[in-house]
């Protein structure tokens, strides 16, 4: 059966509910080990692959994720569409906790991460066009699926990708706001760029876990609130996926 979609789960999404006929595939890649086994199964009659970005026990910090191995493994298994689910902080007023968004731009503030498949001895250097970092076709499909599923989703926005694993300072968020960022997260890059190098139609479904530092009306960021907000937002993801796969 053709692989219809691959989902990379972020913080709070370590297993995909509702998968049937599950098979776990552990792949060796030219870039080392992925974050864990790729879980293959059927969801509403369609073939789906799922990979927990941080590992199923959340043991990998954002800067320690082997993004190259993850994308290569999914591509090797036949994924041509990949939806990255990312926990983020909200900067713009409508990116409030528990909101879901499908960003259309990204600014990369990370450092020291291996960000290209060209970063190997003897490999031809590829200069990808990254003007539009997310695939237009999959973005449109995700937005349409959310509408069909009755899930409110913000269309567009700029994702600021920071190094982590610490949360940002107020001054850093103020800078991101001046730069035009609407969301802040730690895993958006280099995942999006690597997907583009492999020719994968890639989109991000961002789940707002908290207001970023200095935004909203909260004085302090509570981890308990973050996980409660993530749980509420994550519960909407299978509805969107079901509609995306034609339920």
Tokens of 76: 């090797």
Q: Taking a C-beta distance cutoff of 8 angstroms, is the pair 186, 231 a contact?
A: no
C-beta separation of 182 from 106 below 8 A: no
* Cα 174 to Cα 157: distance, rounded to the nearest angstrom: 16
Max distance between CA atoms of the chain, in angstroms, equals: 52
Task: Identify the bridge partners of residue 205 per DSSP, sorted by sequence position.
Answer: 85
- Single out the residue of 8, 14, 18, 70 nearest to residue 42, CA to CA: 18
Asked whether residue 68 is marked as a ligand-binding residue, the answer is no
Radius of gyration (C-alpha) of the chain in whole angstroms: 17
The answer to whether 75 is annotated as binding is no
CB 184 within 8 A of CB 95: no
Binding residue per annotation — 54?
Answer: yes
Strand 20-25 with 81-90, pairing: unpaired
Q: Is 72 annotated as a binding residue?
A: no
Picking from 37, 29, 158, 174, the residue whose alpha carbon sits closest to that of residue 105 is: 158
229 is in an annotated binding site: no
192 labeled binding residue: no
Residue 186 assigned ligand-binding role: yes
Residue 2 annotated as binding site: no
- Return binding residues for phosphate: 11, 53-54, 187
* Residues placed in the known binding site: 11, 53-54, 186-187, 210-212
Known binding residues for substrate are 186, 210-212
């Amino acid at each position: 059966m053709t692989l219809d979609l691959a989902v990379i789960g972020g913080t709070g999404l370590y297993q995909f509910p509702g998968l049937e006929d599950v098979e776990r595939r552990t792949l060796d890649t030219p870039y080392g080990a992925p974050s864990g086994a790729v879980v293959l199964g059927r969801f509403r009659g369609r073939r789906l692959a799922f990979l927990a970005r941080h590992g199923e026990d959340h043991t990998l910090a954002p800067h320690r994720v082997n993004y190259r191995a993850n994308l290569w493994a999914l591509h090797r298994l036949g994924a041509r569409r990949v939806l990255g689910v990312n926990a983020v902080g909200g900067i713009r007023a409508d990116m409030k906790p528990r909101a879901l968004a499908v960003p259309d731009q990204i600014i990369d503030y990370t450092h020291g991460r291996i960000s290209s498949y060209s970063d190997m001895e003897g490999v031809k250097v590829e200069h990808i066009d990254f003007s539009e970092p997310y695939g237009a076709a999959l973005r449109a499909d995700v937005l349409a699926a959310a509408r069909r599923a009755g899930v409110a989703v913000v269309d567009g926005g700029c994702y600021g990708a920071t190094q982590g694993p610490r949360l940002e300072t107020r001054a850093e968020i103020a800078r991101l706001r001046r730069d035009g960022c609407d969301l802040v997260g730690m895993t958006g890059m280099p995942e999006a760029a690597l997907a583009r190098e492999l020719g994968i139609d890639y989109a991000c479904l961002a789940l707002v876990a908290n207001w970023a530092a200095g935004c909203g009306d909260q004085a302090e960021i509570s981890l308990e609130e973050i996980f409660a907000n993530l749980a509420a937002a994550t519960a909407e993801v299978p509805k969107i996926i079901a509609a995306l796969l034609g339920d």
